[in-house]
């Protein structure tokens, strides 16, 4: 009988290598725990980042942890459970907090961390060996492995042969259905009908269609939330600038400075009430065939959740993690009216979509506590916008940026460099747009384009005038690169693990090789970088110097 469930979040490279990092609160873990707790399953969350963040590992211990990148040893351990050194690595990180549970859920994270992925699988094999209890494995990195399933075939085949419950996509409902079957009538459990389950068929790993996500109020159960709080000053204006306006690098150094002058700490609560995207841009994973229609929570229930979370965790600051805040005027007005009716004041940031936004809508959003919106801008070139089916009107984008500044909402832009057929002329359209409207843009985020296999471009490359260069490295070679980066402390560019495919342009008389594009992309990003807000860099230098002086 499964009554006590241990939900384990696997740590990553940064938490092991760098000391004193603040731990991010996992929304996904809170959603799964909430769903199971509502069905009378007692859930304990074990965030292994808490066990390692303030621990200093010796060079010898780091060498041992680096064994996690040895793909042959990992696969052998999954098959046999035999490797005393890998046992020691697991025990070093997981401790003994896993004992005396009826089943285990392991999240291998979402950010292409091979340490997190391999370590999560080692956790699972270790727990299965030690307890014989059911082990569920999930996390967005399962989707990453699956979309590159030919590249990771050996790992996935071994994984699915070892574990019955490997889940792609939202897991809370599937975990409950399996637990309920195991508790009531295990003979009738048919995994071929369970959404999101990975299984082997005809000597291939296949995935059942993902379950559509549901809006769920998170519950972090046993976690000490003080471990996830941030320093807050007495100035709301300063707090909003630090946690909504500042880019991550600056925010982190200001947080460290504020720790020296304030004892007040507050949680910034993650919450989501909007899944999927109707626009399905060609470069984006949201254009995959297994994405359901857009899911938006009921306004009353959403505000119920916000009010409950705000009171429970004594915070009125939120990070909404929606694909974009709903732009329907009916939703926006109802959201405002519910907040007013409950006398609820909150401050928040979210992603936004330019389409359909008006000055009136943005005024209401500011009134509702919106302090920052991040817009998927991608490119300032009409030809490239049409190629990727972005459905972004640049004149409308300018108006929205102007209105955001007018009402007091900071506007960030996501920019993609290196999309197919982005020559110097197309790049300069992006460069010129940002330079001309720099006073309207709070910050912009530069991303170098890489092919996502399950996107429209990845599935139909010929439509976009390219040929794919699949698996430009090998699994073993990729692990050597990751191991070297880990031992050198160069742990920040984990998206490189997703750059497994490249592409050549093939339109007649108008093509470039992938290697040509890489060189050009590097130069473009260098030039665009110079348009970033110089005030942020100066503030970073200022706070960094003060911190260094205080440490002497």
The tens digit of pLDDT for each residue in 168-180 reads: 999 999 999 999 9
The tens digit of pLDDT for each residue in 118-145 reads: 999 999 999 999 999 999 999 999 999 9
The tens digit of pLDDT for each residue in 488-499 reads: 988 777 888 999
Q: Where are the beta strands (DSSP E) in 128-257?
A: 135-138, 165-166, 198-201, 204-207, 230-231
Whole-number pLDDT of residue 489: 86
The tens digit of pLDDT for each residue in 78-104 reads: 999 999 999 999 999 998 888 899 999
The stretch 160-189 carries a mean pLDDT of 96
Q: What is the 3-state secondary structure of 194-209?
A: CCCEEEEECCEEEECC
Distance CA 320, CA 337 (A): 19
Chain length of the chain: 552
**Quick check: 528 pLDDT over 90?**
yes
CB-CB contact of 377 with 415 (8 Å): yes
Distance CA 260, CA 158 (A): 49
Q: What is the 3-state secondary structure of 116-136?
A: HHHHHHHHHHHHHHHHCCCEE
Whole-number pLDDT of residue 492: 76
The stretch 469-483 carries a mean pLDDT of 96
Q: What is the mean pLDDT of the chain?
A: 94
Whole-number pLDDT of residue 97: 81
The tens digit of pLDDT for each residue in 297-337 reads: 999 999 999 999 999 999 999 999 999 999 999 999 999 99
User: pLDDT > 90: what percent of the chain?
Assistant: 87
The tens digit of pLDDT for each residue in 342-375 reads: 999 999 999 999 999 999 999 999 999 999 999 9
**Which has the closest alpha carbon to 339: 378, 379, 299, 309?**
299
Whole-number pLDDT of residue 451: 96
The tens digit of pLDDT for each residue in 407-460 reads: 999 999 999 999 999 999 999 999 999 999 999 999 999 999 999 999 999 999
- Please give the model's pTM, rounded to 2 decimal places: 0.95
Question: For the chain, which domains are there?
Answer: 4-207 (no CATH), 230-450+532-544 (3.80.30.20)
**Quick check: 509 pLDDT over 90?**
no
**Which has the closest alpha carbon to 120: 78, 82, 149?**
78
């Amino acid at each position: 009988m499964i009554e006590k469930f241990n939900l384990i979040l696997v740590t990553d490279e940064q938490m092991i290598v760098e000391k004193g990092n603040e731990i991010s609160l996992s929304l996904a873990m809170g959603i799964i725990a909430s769903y199971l707790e509502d069905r009378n399953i007692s859930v304990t969350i074990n965030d292994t980042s808490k066990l390692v963040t303030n621990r200093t590992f010796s060079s010898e211990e780091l060498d041992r942890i680096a064994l996690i990148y040895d793909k042959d040893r990992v696969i052998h351990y999954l098959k046999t459970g035999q490797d005393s050194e890998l046992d020691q690595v697991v025990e070093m990180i997981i401790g003994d907090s896993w004992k005396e549970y009826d089943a285990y859920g392991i999240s291998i994270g979402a950010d292409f961390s091979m340490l997190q992925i391999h370590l999560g699988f080692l956790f699972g094999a270790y727990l299965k060996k030690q307890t014989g209890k059911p082990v569920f494995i999930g996390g967005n990195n399962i989707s990453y492995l699956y979309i590159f399933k030919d590249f990771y075939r050996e790992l996935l085949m071994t994984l699915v042969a070892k574990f019955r419950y490997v889940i792609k996509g939202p897991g809370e409902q599937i975990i409950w259905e399996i637990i309920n079957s195991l508790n009531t009538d295990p003979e009738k459990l048919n995994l071929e009908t369970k959404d999101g389950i990975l299984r082997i068929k005809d000597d291939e790993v296949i995935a059942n269609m993902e379950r559509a996500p549901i809006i769920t109020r998170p519950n972090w159960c046993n976690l000490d939330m003080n471990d996830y709080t941030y320093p807050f000053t007495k100035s709301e204006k300063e707090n909003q600038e630090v946690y909504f306006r500042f880019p991550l690098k600056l925010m982190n150094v200001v947080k460290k400075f504020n720790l020296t002058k304030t004892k007040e700490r507050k949680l910034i609560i993650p919450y989501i009430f909007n899944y999927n995207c109707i626009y399905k841009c060609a470069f984006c994973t949201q254009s995959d065939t297994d994405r359901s229609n857009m899911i938006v929570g009921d306004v009353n229930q959403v505000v119920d959740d916000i009010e409950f979370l705000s009171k429970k965790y004594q915070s009125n600051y939120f990070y909404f993690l929606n694909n974009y805040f709903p732009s329907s005027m009916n939703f926006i007005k109802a959201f405002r009216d519910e907040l007013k009716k409950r006398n609820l004041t909150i401050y928040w940031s979210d992603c936004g979509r330019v389409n359909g936004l008006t000055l009136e809508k943005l005024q209401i959003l500011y009134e509702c506590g919106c302090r920052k919106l991040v817009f998927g801008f991608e490119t300032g070139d009409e030809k490239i916008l049409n190629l990727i089916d972005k459905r972004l009107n640049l004149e409308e984008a300018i108006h929205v940026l102007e209105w955001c500044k007018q009402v007091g909402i900071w506007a960030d832009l996501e920019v993609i460099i290196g999309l197919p057929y982005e020559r110097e002329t197309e790049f300069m359209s992006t460069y010129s747009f940002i330079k001309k409207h720099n006073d309207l843009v709070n910050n912009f985020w530069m991303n170098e384009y890489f092919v996502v296999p399950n996107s429209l471009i990845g599935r139909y490359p010929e439509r976009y005038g390219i040929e794919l260069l699949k698996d430009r490295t090998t699994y073993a070679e990729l692990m050597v690169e990751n191991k070297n980066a880990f031992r050198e402390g160069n742990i920040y560019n984990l998206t490189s693990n997703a750059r497994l495919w490249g592409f050549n342009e093939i339109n007649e008389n108008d093509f470039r090789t992938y290697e040509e594009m890489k060189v050009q992309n590097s130069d473009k990003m260098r030039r665009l970088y110079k348009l970033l807000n110089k005030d942020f860099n100066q503030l970073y230098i200022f706070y960094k110097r003060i911190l260094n002086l205080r440490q002497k």
